[in-house]
A and B are shown apart, each in its own frame.
Chain A
Amino acid sequence: MSLKLEDVTYTYSPGTAYEMHALEHINLEFPNGQFVGIIGHTGSGKSTLVQHLNGLIRPTAGRVLYNGEDIWKEGYPLRELRSHVGLVFQYPEHQLFETDVITDVCFGPKNQGLSSEECRKRAEEALDHVGFPKEMYEKSPFELSGGQKRRVAIAGVLAMNPDFLVLDEPTAGLDPKGRDEILDQLVLLHKTRGISVVLVSHSMEDIAKYVERIIVMNHGHVAFDDTPKKVFAHYKELEKIGLAAPQMTYIMHALKEHGMDVDVTATTVEEARDTILAALESQKKNGKKGAEVC
């Protein structure tokens, strides 16, 4: 199973004075089971890109293929596609509307035509997956805290049992702990249910920590598409297009410059710690003191 964009171009308000080429000739494949990150400056086309993945917008040119089938050909069941490819929008809590949490999460499954028991089961599962406490199922979504609302909204999409879960900046506005909790849940889902995850984020640190592949968008084009280590090795280029590398990359490069023999591709705190410890260890072995090296 896979999602594929073939030569996709998208233009907002074509033919008017406000014409805006948001995407140009995008070729990308999202195979099943990957945890992919998308980064890019504001207005680089990330949101436009992910809306193509479940057929919310129709490419001006090019094709979108799900399992090899063109989703825009006559008679393709788009609504079914949307249950395979779940899309969580930025600030998803703004879409909650029902009188209680559980009914709101049931909205998706209900639209899929499931029986009410089945809906309820799916909803409970999904809420469980995002770590939402059972006691609060009957509460109104409007009286929850920001982090809780966010979870309910994500559960609303999860309940449709998607194979692909696409999230557009799911942690904006949350406190650091809330941020980590949501992302950790995603990893868990990815591991236990084998869901493919596409994560749009502005935080290089989060991206470095969680994803196995990064797509870098720049002015509607794909600038890089590779593993985090390889992408962040281009940190100078990333800066030119309004992005940055994770802080660790900068530390590693600074240390290297000062003569410490560290692995510059370390991007997370753990990796950095290990390589620094290893470097210090070998310095000690060689009988030199750190100060002499630097």
Chain B
Amino acid sequence: MKNEKVWKIAMTGVFAALSYVVFTFLQFKIWLPGGDATSIHFGNAVCVLGALILGGVYGGIGGAIGMTIGDLLDPVYVVYAPKTFILKFCIGLIAGLIAHKIGKINEQTDQKQIFKWALLAAIGGLLFNVIFDPLIGYFYKLVLLGKPAAEVTLSWNVAATSINAILSTIASVVIYMALRPALQKSGLFSQVKAAAK
């Protein structure tokens, strides 16, 4: 590939579409009271996966764009779009930092090491989400819904985000471990590796 930049833009754009699809198509309809952001979905898992595959920056942007499009297309969530963008980007950034800068996951050949770093990256990224999603969500609701409602939904939100984080961790690691050999054999891995550098 001669032009890295074009390649990265295409890859990230398609990945954003993929995130949106995985996010909307694969939702477990377990609605908790409170309505928003509490259904169990794979959106965050996709951000982590993006970071594991494409690296923190591009994977993060891809995931973030995908989720943000989801928000922009739905008037209920339009106001949440900036929050989504920043939070999801950070999930990717942190997961990518752990996996690639610290773990050097792309250079690992031992399955156990790969598993370990994928897991740590997922935990890192999602732990961030467990703290900051409810927190920022709280300020949003404080303004939008008033203090009493914000306080009550905060606890629900914490519960839902935590459950989501645990499931997302499992999902992203399981899928990454299955995906990596497939990427390698199909000759795509050496290319995505370039983006993660």
Seen from chain A, the residues whose Cβ lies within 8 Å of a Cβ on chain B are 97, 99, 140-143
- Name the 3 nearest CB pairs between A and B, nearest first: A140-B185, A142-B186, A142-B185
Q: How far is the CB of B78 from chain A (nearest CB, A)?
A: 23
Contact between B185 and A97 (Cβ–Cβ < 8 Å)? no
Measured CA separation A16–B3 after assembly (Å): 44
Q: How far is the CB of A42 from chain B (nearest CB, A)?
A: 24
Most buried by B among A141, A142, A143: A142
Contact between A99 and B182 (Cβ–Cβ < 8 Å)? yes
Which residues of chain B are near A97, meaning CB under 8 Å?
178, 182
Count of B interface residues, CB-CB < 8 Å: 6
Q: How far is the CB of B55 from chain A (nearest CB, A)?
A: 22
Seen from chain B, the residues whose Cβ lies within 8 Å of a Cβ on chain A are 178, 181-182, 185-187
Which residues of chain B are near A142, meaning CB under 8 Å?
182, 185-187
Measured CA separation A97–B175 after assembly (Å): 11
Q: How far is the CB of A148 from chain B (nearest CB, A)?
A: 13
Which residues of chain A are near B178, meaning CB under 8 Å?
97
Residue in chain B with minimal CB distance to A143: B185
Q: How far is the CB of B22 from chain A (nearest CB, A)?
A: 15
Measured CA separation A183–B157 after assembly (Å): 57
CB<8 Å pairs between A and B, sample of 11 = A97-B178, A97-B182, A99-B181, A99-B182, A140-B181, A140-B182, A140-B185, A140-B186, A142-B182, A142-B186, A143-B186
Residue in chain B with minimal CB distance to A97: B182
Which residues of chain B are near A99, meaning CB under 8 Å?
181-182, 185
Q: How far is the CB of B191 from chain A (nearest CB, A)?
A: 14
Residue in chain B with minimal CB distance to A144: B185
Q: How far is the CB of A34 from chain B (nearest CB, A)?
A: 37
Which residues of chain B are near A140, meaning CB under 8 Å?
181-182, 185-186
